[in-house]
Amino acid sequence: MSENLIEKKFICVSCPLGCGLTVVINDKQEVLSVTGNSCPRGAAYAKTEVKDPRRVFASTVRVKGGRLPVCPIRSKTPAPKNKLKEIAKAVAALNVKAPVKIGQVLIHNVCGTDVDIVASRDLS
């Protein structure tokens, strides 16, 4: 039985070089080869992008009693790409009270992803 091989192309975002990656996968979505990467991070990025694509989520949340009405937030670690809309809805529903400290966890385990949403700045 012969395998159907699929070639996918990505731009690596693991470092500032932005290497053009070519990834060959089989019909079981197993990565057979990665080429075009200038560093080992590119190969790791390509494998993750095929199996479980993730992105850092960034937005703002409403703040009550602060000197500014919103505070920037981000995910502490990259979140599953297929959960970003659900995460955006959870963040949109959030209102926090001042003061807010940078790194403060505002939503623990957002949408069951094991990813925390944290404040990106101090806000009093």
Q: Can you list the domains of the chain with their CATH numbers?
A: 6-51 (no CATH), 58-119 (3.10.530.10)
- pLDDT of 3 reads 73
Most confident range (mean pLDDT) of 3-17, 36-50, 102-116 is: 102-116
The pLDDT of residue 1 is above 50: no
The pLDDT tens digits for 89-121 are: 999 999 999 999 999 999 999 999 999 999 999
pLDDT at 12 over 60: yes
Q: 85: exposed, middle or buried (C-beta count within 10 Å: 0-12, 13-18, 19+)?
A: exposed
Tens-digit pLDDT profile for residues 59-90: 999 999 999 999 999 999 999 999 999 999 99
Q: Pairing mode, if any, of strands 95-97 and 58-64?
A: parallel
Given its phi and psi angles, is residue 39 left (phi above 0), alpha (psi -120 to 50 degrees) or beta?
A: beta
Q: What is the pTM of this model?
A: 0.84
pLDDT score, position 2? 54
Q: Is 64 helix (H, G, I), strand (E, B) or coil?
A: strand
